[in-house]
Amino acid sequence: MSNALAFVVRVAVVAVSLWVATLIVPGIDVAAGGTVSQALTLVGVALIFGLVNAVLKPLIKVVGCPFYVLTLGLFGLVVNALLFLLVGFVADGLGLPFTVGGFGAAFVGAIVVAVVGFVLHVVIPDRIDQR
């Protein structure tokens, strides 16, 4: 797959994962009008999600390494929830109708997005191994 197609697949997977989170998790909502508007909002939020994870998550892992070790990785769940809250805040700041209702919703939402994203990446790989 080309790099552009792989990028589109990754964004689509995150957007679908976010959509599933809005269906399952109370407190995570897309308040856009129609289906197309909701889909475009989810794609925009998926782009923000990817940007936040690409920029901040590695920095937090380096700085918070002792906490990851001390808690046997459970600190990662808290970090993911806080990053999910940040994504909701940034989306709201950019005028996207995507809301995260608090830490609890962000915690469960981050888990849902991770699990659904994993399953979708298994079903729809974004790259082909060249072995």
| pLDDT per position as a tens digit, 10-46 | 999 999 999 999 999 999 999 878 899 999 999 999 9
Domain coverage including residue 77 = 3-123
Residue 73 domain-assigned? yes
Two tokens, residue 70: 């001390």
Mean per-residue pLDDT over the chain, rounded:
90
Number of domains in the chain: 1
Whole-number Å distance between alpha carbons of 58 and 119: 23
Whole-number Å distance between alpha carbons of 67 and 47: 28
pLDDT of 23:
95
Average pLDDT over residues 69-96: 93
Whole-number Å distance between alpha carbons of 18 and 9: 14
Residue 130 domain-assigned? no
Helix axes 35-63, 75-93, angle to 10 degrees: 130
Residue 128 domain-assigned? no
Residue 131 domain-assigned? no
What residues have CB less than 8 Å from 80, skipping those under 6 apart? 107, 110, 111, 114
pLDDT of 128:
58
Residue 129 domain-assigned? no
Q: What are phi and psi of 28, to 5 degrees?
A: -110, 120
Residue 6 has pLDDT above 90, yes or no: no
